[in-house]
Amino acid sequence: MSKVRIAIIGCGMIANRHHIPCYKVNEDVELVYFCDIIREKAEKSAAEYGSGKVVEDYKEVLADPTVDAVDICTPNLMHSVIAIDAMKAGKHVLCEKPAAINYDEALKMQQVCHETGKVLNIGVVNRFEGHINMIRKYIQEGRLGEV
Residue 126 confidence (pLDDT) above 80: no
Please say if the pLDDT value at position 1 is more than 80: no
> Are 12 and 76 spatial neighbours (Cβ–Cβ below 8 Å)?
no
Average pLDDT over residues 43-65: 95
Residue boundaries of the structural domains of the chain: 4-140
pLDDT tier, 102 (very low <50, low <70, confident <90, very high otherwise): very high
**Residue 108: pLDDT above 90?**
yes
Helix/strand/coil for 35? strand
Was domain 4-140 assigned CATH 3.30.1490.20?
A: no
> What burial letters (b/e) apply to 44-66, b meaning 16+ CB within 10 Å?
bbbeebbebbbbeebeebbeeee
125 pLDDT higher than 80? no
- The pTM of this model reads 0.87
Beta bridge partners of 123: 96
φ and ψ of 2, to 5 deg: -80, 155
CB 66 within 8 A of CB 91: no
Mean pLDDT value across the chain: 95
DSSP state string for 38-94: SHHHHHHHHHHH---EEES-HHHHHT-TT--EEEE-S-GGGHHHHHHHHHHTT-EEE
